[in-house]
Amino acid sequence: MLDRPTAANFPIPAFGVTDRLQKLSFMFPAIDAIFQEFATQRHIPGLAFGVVMDGELVHSGALGVRNVAEQAPVMPDTQFRIASMTKSFTAMAIVKLRDEGKLHLEEAAAHYVPELAALTYPTRDSAPITVRQLLTMSGGFPQDDPWADRQLAASADQFTVWLREGISFSNPPGAAYEYSNYSYAILGRIIDNVSGMRFQDYIKQSILEPLGMMSSTFDVHAVAPDRLATGYRFDADNWIAQPLLEDGAFGAMGGLFTTIPDFARYIAFLLAAFPPRDDAESGPIRRSSAREMQQAARSAYAMSHRPMPDVPAIVMSYGYGYGLSAGVHSIFGYTVGHGGGLPGYGSYYRMLPDCGIGLVAFTNLTYAQAALPIDAALSALQRADNLQRRTLAVSAALQTTRAGLLDLYAQWDDAKAAALATESFFQDMPIDKRRAQFEQLRADFGACLSATAL
């Protein structure tokens, strides 16, 4: 941690209960049932999921088969390809290089990828694409699903040819959010050029290994056949195996293989960035940088839906950070996460930083909507009052003010009132009117018998 002066009395939010895990454990059977129902209804061959709380994988499950032909079951160490959930690892590598002073997020991307200098921009007043815009899906490129999903195996030479041929635009850079896998492929090339090694190797050495993610890899051939979750699509009541694409230049947007225990370490690291505090630093990047990744840097969308006619609407407002979506959910509060989909795979994770909880699910079915059981499980936890949030302790100044207001309600005193408030407070309403207001309240409602806690 950098040696900087800190405020001794800066408030740090904390959980008000100590039995959080014990309470959560009562919900594990319900969570298991939610994932089992999802797997059955959606014809998922195999599924693995995990619950992370306070830095630990506290619960996990493995359902179905990783290989249909062999009827080999999914195991805790089964490796799934997590598709676009890879993007935050690429983003973290960029942030690490930034923190080391090796690149700047506001620098034009062409500074690090010379082929981009020849891009034809959509308008004369378009500014050059920056690294930050690539991170936040605001580079101006059109959404490229599912074309990009089939490009994982593209060679570095092929990607260079594409870069020289140019890229189409749907917006001038910085004008709007639009999801772009191509942007993250370019970020992979930036890592190559700045670090002096393949982005796969840089991410392995700088992020995966420091986090202890030893069962995570970009290399298709490094996954043992008896641990691989074979990818499938479901068609005409049959599971059809999908070709496993080689790792290539587009792997930066979606090529990583991992396991639930490994990915739980990653979730734990991201959640450990909250709250800001004085503890010693650990991990591949600073806590402040990890928090930066988990902030909505580019507004994406706001929406609401009503699951059933007789329940309140769920409202969400989201933006894109660095390889992560972040925003506010009317039930879960502040959330961070990302999904992933490729031919043969579908995955999702959602974290609630204020609650210290994260859920993740991997499947071996094309574009399986793994967010559905995760959100259902979090909703069940919310109903069971298991999503306690950190709260700030009440400050001494607020306690003093509360006591002073109760005292004024019991018996008004101009001098005590003036001591509690700034001069501008009585410019909005003169002190004699405030006095009359308090006296009228006491006449209407009587003495204050009790006061709720702050």
Tens-digit pLDDT profile for residues 362-409 = 999 999 999 999 999 999 999 999 999 999 988 888 999 999 999 999
- At residue 9, the pLDDT reads 76
Residue % of the chain over a pLDDT of 70: 99
- Contacts of 110-119 with C-beta under 8 Å, sequence gap 24+, read 112/189, 112/190, 112/193, 112/194, 113/163, 113/186, 113/189, 113/190, 113/193, 115/160, 115/163, 115/164, 116/163, 116/186, 118/164, 118/166, 119/166, 119/167
At residue 1, does pLDDT exceed 50? Answer: no
Cβ atoms of 319 and 296 within 8 Å: the answer is yes
pTM over 0.85: yes
Residue 42 or 307, more confident: 42
Cα–Cα distance measured from residue 73 to residue 65, given in angstroms and rounded to the nearest whole number: 4
pLDDT tens sequence across 146-174? 999 999 999 999 999 999 999 999 999 99
Q: At 55, is the secondary structure helix, strand, or coil?
A: coil
Segment 318-326 mean pLDDT: 98
Cβ atoms of 344 and 362 within 8 Å: the answer is no
At residue 319, does pLDDT exceed 50? Answer: yes
At residue 5, does pLDDT exceed 80? Answer: no
Residue 142 buriedness (CB in 10 A; 0-12 / 13-18 / 19+): middle
Q: From its phi and psi, is residue 354 left (phi > 0), alpha (psi between -120 and 50) or beta?
A: alpha
- At residue 454, the pLDDT reads 85
Segment 114-121 mean pLDDT: 97
Cβ atoms of 171 and 140 within 8 Å: the answer is yes
N-term to C-term CA, the chain: 34
HSE value, Cβ hemisphere, 13 Å, CA-based, for 298: 22
- At residue 235, the pLDDT reads 95
| Residue given tokens 């407070």 in the structure block | 425
Residue 295's contacts (CB-CB under 8 Å, 6 or more residues apart) are 321, 326
pLDDT confidence band for 3 (50 / 70 / 90): low
Residue % of the chain over a pLDDT of 90: 91
pLDDT tens sequence across 245-297? 999 999 999 999 999 999 999 999 999 999 999 999 999 999 999 999 999 99
* SS (HEC) of 339-382: EEEECCEEEEEEEECCCCEEEEEEECECCCCCHHHHHHHHHHHH
Cα–Cα distance measured from residue 131 to residue 80, given in angstroms and rounded to the nearest whole number: 29
Q: How much is the mean pLDDT over the chain?
A: 95
